[in-house]
Structure 1
Amino acid sequence: MVNAPTPCHHPLVEQPRLTDLALAPDGTRLVAAVQTLDDEGTRYVSEPWEVDPAGEREARLVSGSVPGDFAPVFSADGSLLFLSERGPHEPPGAALWALPEHGEAERTAHHPGGMTALTAASHASTLAWTAALLRTFSLNCTNL
């Protein structure tokens, strides 16, 4: 078989992947989204890790994060914002969550169908996100 996995395939697939970097406006915090394989080895799951920009402390999992948190950005006030599908009681699709430096994550916005990407202005209270949402239409089949 031409596309059969080689002996090098599994070690490469199992390596964590860095997907996003977010630097706080004051430059003191750096958060990286890192994808790893889930327990079944069937899909990648993202988690935010805080990395010391000065290189003096070890990297650590962001306190209060859960598997599936992705697209980290910092708001102008220094809060960490990210997208996540957290829990069965939330509407379907990724929502916008805010995690202050000390405290618990709080859902701050949701878009029908979920959000897919996020960005924040570094010196203003402005956010932009994209969302996958199909428009609904109705067709009058009698005129076709």
Structure 2
Amino acid sequence: MDKKNVGGQNVRRVKIRNARKIGLIFFRRRSCVSNQARERNLDKLDNELIASKNALEVEKKRAEELRKAGEAEKNKNPLLRVPMKELSLEQLVELREKMVRLREKVRERVVELKEQEAANPSSSDRGEGPSS
């Protein structure tokens, strides 16, 4: 057995003979170096897993809140509970008027957000604020 330095690590070159008397040479790294690297890699993977689990939980809570908000909105507006084909003409006209008002509110909000972004461009540099 002799020692050789490979890539900054001490490596032992080991020659063994198998049952057929064929000599095999392989390199065996010091176990403490590889164990330390393995531990660092495991720690990194554990941290990534924990971060992913936390992000998943946040998204699950957000989805549940959105689902509850949608149900509450449906309960407030009976036109949203009935299938479109079953609505009368008056109900369809009322629903259309509400949709037009909603579209106007959304446009106003988009303009407002664009004005805020123009007034404060540094927030968009950090990934905050609306992305339109």
Higher helix content, 1 or 2: 2
Instruction: Return the TM-score normalized by structure 2.
Output: 0.19
Instruction: Return the TM-score normalized by structure 1.
Output: 0.18
Higher strand content, 1 or 2: 1
Whose RCO is larger (CA < 8 A, sep 6+)?
Answer: 1
Bigger CA radius of gyration: 2
